[in-house]
Structure 1
Amino acid sequence: MSQIKANDEKGSYRWVILIIATFSQTCATFVNYGVGPLATFCQEIYSLSQFQTGLIVSAVNIGPIFSMLIFGNIMDKYGERWVVGIGSILLGLTMLITLPINEYVYLLIVLAFVGVWYGTAQPGGSSAIINWFPKNKNRGLAMGIRQTGIPLGGALASTTLPFFFYNYGLSSAKLTQAIVAIAGGIIFSIFYKDHGMTAQRQQNDRFLEKINKIKAKSSLYPVFFIGMSMISLQLIILAHLMSYLSNTLHISLSISGTLLSVVLIGGAIGRILLAWISDNLFNGDRSKPLQLTILLTVSILIVLVYFLNYLPLWGIYIICFILGFLGVGWYSLFIVLMSEKADKEFIGLTVSFGLTLNQIFIVLAPSLFGLSVDYFNGYKLPFFLLILFISIGGIWLNLSERNNKCKTQKETEKVPLNRKKRHRMT
């Protein structure tokens, strides 16, 4: 009876964990995505070039490349509570260092360290959901809700930071970011409870041995590739959709900005709904809905590139919503699939490994796409290459899943054959 009561309490506390993890992710992203508006403010004050302005955003995104693997490894050993909590607090404290800085180069250096602490947020929150929500207990839905913290944090930063900047100055915007991050870290540290602190947490494998075990797991390869291709699409949408609509369809920047907002709204809804679909319509299977999402994404991109000029404005709004629903909403399925394919003792490190690869493409994809648009003097060929890149991931995952099914079928067929041989011998 006491065991049932304990399970009920644990089940209800899962949703508290979800709220805490989502809140913490929102607070951390408020700083990370808030660097975008911050870069615009700096451009206005210091008369920076477009390249210099872009480097400010790149600086904060470079940091997690060097930190996520380390933090993921620590979380696997000791749990998420203090790593995520203290990481968010240090994120805010490092942001405070930027308050007196007026030199451009020094700002870039400090923002790179801000990005280092942001490396605790994504793998920590994902690991928390995987540990607290069993596979058939709304895990996909929970991950989808937590992932909304990213667009939510970005949206809050985009709306609140300009208010503080234009009314109280640049320092007030930086201070707001710091306070929000510190608050998120304190709340997470107080209310989060580590789950599953078993002997698995204290495994003695060395860091490089764990990395080699992850690299040896071939079933993760197509998932990693999908992460790299789809995150490239996501960042290209954020960086280039407005200019694409403006340059090719001659839509005003104000309407293009509204269409980009529609994409982000579709993405927030997609992150929840696609994950819910995987829980309820696919019985916890993440691979099939992710493959379907990739197929539909490719289809909508073809419409975007080759048929958009034939559509009325309301049709373009629908296309942009669907593009966001798929091209931004895919992320929850990806995170859960990667986590479920990982070894139980390496969940944090595996997620960090995949997100580190993603982070490299977050930094590179927007600039490479822009260079290809300049080189080919148009958007069609760059978009075609992007469509090809995305398609490879979906096909690879499909082939990998088929091979794994064949292997498991052969293994199950061998078991009764071995039993028959033993029976004959007796």
Structure 2
Amino acid sequence: MTNTWRPLAVTLAIQALVAMALITVPVMAPVLAQDLGISSAYVGIYVGVVYAAAMLASLSAGAMVARFGAIRVSQGGLLLCASGIALSALGSLPAMAIGAVLVGLGYGPVTPASSHLLARTTPPDRMSLVFSIKQTGVPLGGVLAGALVPPLLVLGWRGALLAVAAANIACIFVAQPLRSALDADREPQRPLVLGNLAQPIRMVLAHPPLRLLAGCSFLFSIAQLSLTTYLVTYLHDVLAYGLVAAGLALSVSQAAGVVGRVLWGYVSDRWLGARRMLAVLAAMVAVCALLTAALHATLPGLVVLAVLALFGASAIGWNGVYLAEVAREAPAGQASIATGGTLAITFLGVVMGPPAFGALSGATGSYRIGFVAVAAALVLCLIALLRPLRKGAASLRSIG
């Protein structure tokens, strides 16, 4: 494990900063929407644009990692995220749209790049735990955004955006001393075959285990990003929370996601295995989404935070177990390509999920209906995961 911790630490930091860049606009959505004269529900469109760009970028990540190295690709991602956030600070809707594209292009390659590094340096029996620790960078970015962005609004929302951009730039320099050692396997002469973006998707569709994992990640991602995108707005508009209190509640849910990712990775490696662990998490997400829909302003704050913590632990905690299983199921030496292909489907769920959540909530006049729809999606995921487990149990009984 000694050789694992160094790449784990740097990939964790990079993941946290690009995640913070992505979540910053949703956290400040009520203030931003009021200043620009638009509805807060439009934040779902912003997130959808980010992940549409991320989906395309993830498909090209395998070729870029092979040529430039995982650290260099990750540094490029940080630079793009910083540029996108800084551009959004101009305050016009076209600038924010282009900024969303840049953030997505920066965010998309980071996870395939880190999977490439960790697949090379992690013992197989600790894959779920190590990948889960690395993926805590996503909710950790949410913790940073929820805890720091509302106080940073004293600088104005433009100043807060520029501060987040500066943090991403700083991380580029932090990663640079590790670049030579960790990118030693790069092939500078390898051609960039970016035109064949369908290759990762074909790999996923050709392998039934990868196909199942990708399909379930589509539904899990709807739940995760609906929670992350709309929680502050839901608490502010429906439960009458102040923006700082709502941001702290988001931080609680994201912090629980950090704990959940490590805990579920350990439980998966030690006892349940990835498929059973994901089935348990699907059931937990469905229940928590229904409980969140039932929250009301008269409930004690601790009760609300307990529900949101459990929601975050499950809706955010699934990712590391999923990515580790993708790396296990990928053909040898092709973890970054398989990860890029499955993440394209994951990101498709994110592209469709928050805008659909916002549209449904807007049409019905209730964010609660959106959370009920999230619960229904995860019930479908649970059914899909249980089916092969039941077939496997039936086969064992027939052999016995």
Normalising by structure 2, report the TM-score.
0.81
CA distance in 1, matches of 2:85, 2:366: 39
For residue 121 of structure 1, the aligned residue among 110, 116, 126 is: 110
CA distance in 2, matches of 1:110, 1:380: 30
CA distance in 2, matches of 1:204, 1:366: 33
CA distance in 2, matches of 1:307, 1:90: 38
- How many aligned positions are there? 394
Letter in 1 for 2:359: L
**Cα shift at 1:341:** 1.7
Of 106-115 and 347-356, deviating more is: 106-115
Question: Which residue of the partner structure matches residue 170 of structure 2?
Answer: 183
CA contact (8 A) 2:129 2:265 kept: yes
In structure 2, do the counterparts of structure 1 residues 346 and 405 end up closer, same or farther at CA, with 3 Å as the change threshold? Answer: farther
CA contact (8 A) 2:77 2:109 kept: yes
Of 172-181 and 325-334, deviating more is: 172-181
CA contact (8 A) 1:40 1:53 kept: no
**Match status 1:350 vs 2:338:** yes
**Structure number, greater radius of gyration:** 1
CA distance in 1, matches of 2:150, 2:364: 36
In structure 2, do the counterparts of structure 1 residues 381 and 89 end up closer, same or farther at CA, with 3 Å as the change threshold? Answer: closer
**Cα shift at 1:174:** 3.7
For residue 279 of structure 1, the aligned residue among 263, 269, 283 is: 269
Question: Which residue of the partner structure matches residue 350 of structure 2?
Answer: 362
Gaps of 5+ in 2: none
**Cα shift at 1:122:** 2.1
Question: Which residue of the partner structure matches residue 18 of structure 1?
Answer: 8
In structure 2, do the counterparts of structure 1 residues 408 and 132 end up closer, same or farther at CA, with 3 Å as the change threshold? Answer: farther
**Cα shift at 1:214:** 2.5
SS of equivalent residue, structure 2 residue 333: helix
Letter in 2 for 1:341: E
CA contact (8 A) 1:90 1:182 kept: no
For residue 138 of structure 2, the aligned residue among 144, 150, 169 is: 150
CA distance in 2, matches of 1:41, 1:379: 18
CA contact (8 A) 2:88 2:99 kept: yes
Of 153-162 and 67-76, deviating more is: 153-162
Letter in 2 for 1:24: I
User: Could you list the per-position Cα deviations for residues 135-159 of structure 1 after superposition, in whole angstroms to 9, with x for gaps in the alignment?
Assistant: 11x3222222212212222332344
CA distance in 2, matches of 1:246, 1:37: 11
CA distance in 1, matches of 2:207, 2:235: 41
CA contact (8 A) 1:131 1:195 kept: no
Normalising by structure 1, report the TM-score.
0.77
CA contact (8 A) 2:221 2:350 kept: yes
Identical counterparts, % of pairs? 19
CA distance in 2, matches of 1:48, 1:122: 32
For residue 228 of structure 2, the aligned residue among 238, 247, 250 is: 238
CA distance in 2, matches of 1:398, 1:54: 31
SS of equivalent residue, structure 1 residue 253: coil
Question: Which residue of the partner structure matches residue 109 of structure 1?
Answer: 98
Question: Which residue of the partner structure matches residue 394 of structure 1?
Answer: 382
CA distance in 1, matches of 2:344, 2:213: 13
CA contact (8 A) 2:59 2:344 kept: yes
**Cα shift at 1:71:** 1.5
Letter in 1 for 2:78: S
Gaps of 5+ in 1: 1-10, 414-426
CA distance in 2, matches of 1:91, 1:368: 25
Letter in 1 for 2:73: V
In structure 2, do the counterparts of structure 1 residues 208 and 319 end up closer, same or farther at CA, with 3 Å as the change threshold? Answer: closer
Q: CA RMSD in A?
A: 3.9
